[in-house]
Structure 1
Amino acid sequence: MRFWEIGLIVVNFVLLGWTLFTRKRTKRWFAIALPVAYCVLIVQLIAEGYRWQMIPAYLSPIILTACYLLTKQKKNAGSWVSVAVKSLLLFIYLSVAVALPALMPVSLFQKPNGPFTVGTTLYHWVDDRREEPFAKDPKDRRELMVQIYYPAGDQGEGDREPYLRNTHEVAKGLEGDLSIPAFTLSHLGLVQTNAFTDARMSDTEKQYPVLLFSHGLNGFRNQNTFEVEELASQGYIVVSIDHAYDAAATVYPDGRTAYFQSVNLSDLPERDRHIQLWKDDVAFVLDQIEKLNRGDVDDRFTGRIDTSRIGMFGHSYGGATAAQMLVEDSRIKAAIDMDGTLYGSTIKDSGIGKPFLLMSAEMSDDSDEDSLEEKLRNKRALAGGGMSLVIPHTDHTSFTDFHLMSPLLRSPGEDPRYVHRIINEFSLAFFDLYVKQRGNSLELEKLATKYPEVHFKVN
């Protein structure tokens, strides 16, 4: 919970408890208690904003007012039965008031560890060469929203970037996948990241390497903010792509929203076919990055992007896309697949032949009839030097921000911040070695020693 949320609950419930159990309740007491209770409420609403999870706490001044109106001055606290009942009711009420905001926190992201402040900016790119396969009008072109995170030169100046710019639409898009009503995620609109909107780019280095990020089916471009911000703070330009109509919701600058529509991708052959759309998206974004480097409208990225050093990572279907692009596009030097089945064209038995790391969840579902084929695909991809790691106490969404959103979404025994630290450290060491071309393979071996519970293997 945030500072003033905690303050509201502590102050108002102390006042409420004192009112219920003190032997003397004078007008003077209420003349002080009521203004304090309402003032703390008003300050919290102004400083931090309303969210529905705080409704029980918001009602505490009203209940305090009711106590004033319904009780007489200098009234005894009552019998032990009365005290016991009041104590039980107050405990239940306090538990609800604390549990709701605690189970759906607003403070999600820790400060990145790198030397750079993080900046971010958003682009709307239209591929005039491709039709939009989900549109009814054949004249519609493929449109993508792309958010870029980068090392910033401003030391915390400017506005902090919100986690989601279009919370309502994304929450509505996630509603079916997470099996929870959209309104329960409305508080994500209050979450701030560590990035600063449109900040000036850092001049520390002449050029910076690039990493592309691709979300999972029904995910969204910001779903791995914990990882994207860390990599940007370590000196990478990170490009996060919304794959329109396969993302939970993509909102264009004119207000149009492309909601998730790929509900028929139920088997391996169909997902193998569909991934071509995502590969074409990534290839288009790579072309746009090269254009940005030649000449950006506001000159932020002009000449600052090292297009000879590009890597890619993704979660789930996005991880499969990263693997496919590593195989097919010479611009991608290394890739990480986070718990993604390797959909797409068949990889040779000899392996990918380029640096590849497959991160997997411990709690994968092996009961599916396609699981044998998936294991064979993984084996081929890892042949000839591919790397793999399995993180304990994780499931498929442990590799995203989702488990930070609520303890209710976590796997048994999982500490999401610890899991994210493992992901970030291995990702950074991998990309530093194969994209920045700094360091050596000993860094990965040191991490394997540092985290002995992680099953890291070089094939």
Structure 2
Amino acid sequence: MRLFEILLVLSCFALLVDLLFIKRSAKKTGLGLAIGSSVIFVVQLLVEGYRWQLLLVYIMTALFILIVSFRHSGKMVNLKIGKLLKYSLSSLIVILLVGSTVLSAYLPVFDLPEPDGPEKVGTQTFHFTDQNRDEVLTEDQSDKRELMVQVWYPTENRNNNKRGTLFPSDTEMFKKYIQSFSTSLKLPAFVLDYWKYNRTNSYENVEILPSTSPYPLVLLSHGMGTSRVLQASQAENLASHGFVVVTIDHTYSTFATIFPDGRVTDYKTKMTTIDDRTKIGNIWTEDVEFILDEIEKLNLGAIESQFKGKIDLKNIGVMGHSFGGATAFNTTYLDQRVKAGVNMDGSLNEVENRDDINKPFMFIRSGSFKDWLVNFENDRNSDNEVNKFLSDELHIMKNVSEHGGNVIYVEGTQHFNFTDLQFYSELIKLSGITGDINGKRGSSIVNQYVLDFFNKQLKGTGGNLIQGPSDMYPEVKFIDPEEL
């Protein structure tokens, strides 16, 4: 909970205590408490903003302020009620207030974890249209493939801009965005309204930090059905260490993607068979390759921007979560411009003719991977299409491991510990999609190993963590090729 939210809750309980236990003659105490609570109430609403989770606290605080003020001013008739009714009513009020407070604590307004690099982070959003590709995920045959991307980069933030919000700051755009999210989650839109307060550590549209040499580039893809928003902290952390990072919304495979003209697209991707995976995987791979083409234009000045000459196109990496991780592998294999890649807990979408990859690659898997590996070994020889696909995938991972790459897993994590979803609520752990590990700890571990990998492969520095087990991160386990 935020500072003034905590103070508001405390003042509400203090007012209740005054009503129950403080004598009417203690005017200074009561009136002082009412005035102080009123100030906190107003400041919380003006500075931090209204939240539906605190609705009962708002109502009861306002009511208590009025009652306490009238009670100690002598203008209120002294109503006598029985002790049973008095304490029963008080108990109900306490239960309601505790419930409201718990909702606020478990559905919090949050800031993304601060990046641990030396540089501040800037961000800028672009809208690109691939005129050479038809949009196959819509029914309109005239549609072309449109993509929204967000660029994250080192900055000085000379003008001392305020940190940006995680979601669109424009009120109308935010409403459309949240409406699409809430529809996908089958929730009323107001339930997610408080997301408008969630903040990043980045500054929008500020100048890139001048450098004597261009910055290495990393392209980052989200998981199926999520959004680039859920990979923001990873992008920020890399950017704070001197990388330019481009996060991509793969249109019609997200909860919501919003375009500059106010259009919002939702999820329309069909994923029922291995053939579907391959088809969509090809679309996403082409998305990454197209965005890389556009970044080249930015760097050359063919598209006007501040990034001309600022990006090192000889040192390009790709990474992604889940289906985005599979896309990262596929792009690393197919695109000669890509030097190295990272797959965060993603099963591959293409295994044919992929076992001879000769570039550095790292697979980071969740804590359940080791158990899955043991269970699969018992069923590896089953004659079915899925088992053959998984067996080929493990063969690829073994080949990567034997040729200078890495296959690791992080104990205590589950699939969505590789996203920012773990910061949205502790209640998410109850669903099993995040693990027992502390969210910030899990995020930090993934960030450190991704950074170490790209430092070595794209900058020629570091590389200590990916050499083997570390006492600093005992949760990280390295898979021996023979185990695959």
**Secondary structure of the structure 2 residue equivalent to 1:99:** helix
Residue in structure 2 matched with residue 353 of structure 1 by the alignment? 358
**Secondary structure of the structure 1 residue equivalent to 2:394:** helix
Residue in structure 1 matched with residue 248 of structure 2 by the alignment? 241
How far, CA to CA, are the matches of 2:104 and 2:391 in structure 1? Answer: 41
Q: Which moved more, 1:340-349 or 1:277-286?
A: 340-349
Give the deviation of 1:260 after TM superposition.
Answer: 0.9
Give the deviation of 1:74 after TM superposition.
Answer: 6.6
Residue in structure 2 matched with residue 419 of structure 1 by the alignment? 442
Matches within 5 A, 1:382-421: 382-383=398-399, 384-385=402-403, 386-410=405-429, 411=434, 413-421=436-444
Q: What CA deviation, in whole Å up to 9, does each residue of 1:138-161 have, x standing for no partner?
A: 222111111000001225721322
Q: Which moved more, 1:158-167 or 1:105-114?
A: 158-167
Q: 1:418 to 1:156 in 2, by over 3 A?
A: farther
Residue in structure 1 matched with residue 379 of structure 2 by the alignment? none
Q: 1:125 to 1:236 in 2, by over 3 A?
A: same
**Secondary structure of the structure 2 residue equivalent to 1:357:** strand
Q: 1:235 to 1:458 in 2, by over 3 A?
A: farther
Matched residues, number: 455
Q: What CA deviation, in whole Å up to 9, does each residue of 1:196-237 have, x standing for no partner?
A: 001111114431000000011111112112211111000000
**Secondary structure of the structure 2 residue equivalent to 1:224:** helix
Give the deviation of 1:321 after TM superposition.
Answer: 0.3
Residue in structure 1 matched with residue 472 of structure 2 by the alignment? 450
Residue in structure 2 matched with residue 209 of structure 1 by the alignment? 216
Residue in structure 1 matched with residue 274 of structure 2 by the alignment? 268
* AA partner of residue 185 (structure 1): L
Q: Which moved more, 1:268-277 or 1:85-94?
A: 85-94
How far, CA to CA, are the matches of 1:96 and 1:175 in structure 2? Answer: 23
Q: What CA deviation, in whole Å up to 9, does each residue of 1:266-302 have, x standing for no partner?
A: 2222111221111111111000010000117654101
How far, CA to CA, are the matches of 1:374 and 1:185 in structure 2? Answer: 38
Residue in structure 2 matched with residue 255 of structure 1 by the alignment? 262
Question: 1:23·1:76 contact (CA, 8 Å) conserved in 2?
Answer: no
Answering whether residue 154 of structure 2 is matched by residue 151 of structure 1, we say yes
Matches within 5 A, 1:127-206: 127-154=130-157, 157-165=160-168, 166-175=173-182, 178=185, 180-206=187-213
Question: 2:417·2:435 contact (CA, 8 Å) conserved in 1?
Answer: no
Question: 2:325·2:343 contact (CA, 8 Å) conserved in 1?
Answer: yes
* AA partner of residue 106 (structure 1): V
Answering whether residue 403 of structure 2 is matched by residue 380 of structure 1, we say no
How far, CA to CA, are the matches of 2:238 and 2:143 in structure 1? Answer: 35
Give the deviation of 1:60 after TM superposition.
Answer: 2.3
How far, CA to CA, are the matches of 1:233 and 1:447 in structure 2? Answer: 25
Q: 1:297 to 1:346 in 2, by over 3 A?
A: closer
* AA partner of residue 45 (structure 2): L
* AA partner of residue 419 (structure 2): T
Q: What CA deviation, in whole Å up to 9, does each residue of 1:337-358 have, x standing for no partner?
A: 1111101252444x42211111
* AA partner of residue 402 (structure 1): L
Q: Which moved more, 1:112-121 or 1:135-144?
A: 135-144
Question: 1:341·1:378 contact (CA, 8 Å) conserved in 2?
Answer: no
Answering whether residue 296 of structure 2 is matched by residue 287 of structure 1, we say no
Q: What CA deviation, in whole Å up to 9, does each residue of 1:160-203 have, x standing for no partner?
A: 22101154444444446656544322221111100000111111
Matches within 5 A, 1:13-28: 13-24=13-24
Answering whether residue 350 of structure 2 is matched by residue 327 of structure 1, we say no
Residue in structure 2 matched with residue 7 of structure 1 by the alignment? 7
* AA partner of residue 230 (structure 1): N
Q: Which moved more, 1:176-185 or 1:404-413?
A: 176-185
Question: 1:20·1:77 contact (CA, 8 Å) conserved in 2?
Answer: no
Q: 1:272 to 1:297 in 2, by over 3 A?
A: closer
Q: What CA deviation, in whole Å up to 9, does each residue of 1:406-450 have, x standing for no partner?
A: 00112452211110011000000000011112234x332366332
* AA partner of residue 202 (structure 1): L
How far, CA to CA, are the matches of 2:129 and 2:82 in structure 1? Answer: 72
Q: Which moved more, 1:142-151 or 1:1-10?
A: 1-10
**Secondary structure of the structure 2 residue equivalent to 1:212:** strand
Residue in structure 1 matched with residue 128 of structure 2 by the alignment? 125
Question: 1:25·1:73 contact (CA, 8 Å) conserved in 2?
Answer: no
How far, CA to CA, are the matches of 1:293 and 1:225 in structure 2? Answer: 23
Q: What CA deviation, in whole Å up to 9, does each residue of 1:61-108 have, x standing for no partner?
A: 2331564599756778974x5675355334313311321111111123
Percent of matched pairs sharing the same residue: 31
How far, CA to CA, are the matches of 1:77 and 1:23 in structure 2? Answer: 16
How far, CA to CA, are the matches of 2:342 and 2:450 in structure 1? Answer: 8
Question: 1:108·1:405 contact (CA, 8 Å) conserved in 2?
Answer: no
RMSD, aligned α-carbons: 2.8
Q: Which moved more, 1:216-225 or 1:53-62?
A: 53-62
Residue in structure 1 matched with residue 457 of structure 2 by the alignment? 434
- Structure 2: 5+ residue stretches without partners: 377-383
TM-score with structure 1 setting the length: 0.90
How far, CA to CA, are the matches of 2:92 and 2:217 in structure 1? Answer: 56
- Structure 1: 5+ residue stretches without partners: none
How far, CA to CA, are the matches of 2:387 and 2:206 in structure 1? Answer: 45
**Secondary structure of the structure 2 residue equivalent to 1:432:** helix
**Secondary structure of the structure 1 residue equivalent to 2:200:** strand
Question: 1:13·1:60 contact (CA, 8 Å) conserved in 2?
Answer: no
Residue in structure 2 matched with residue 362 of structure 1 by the alignment? 367
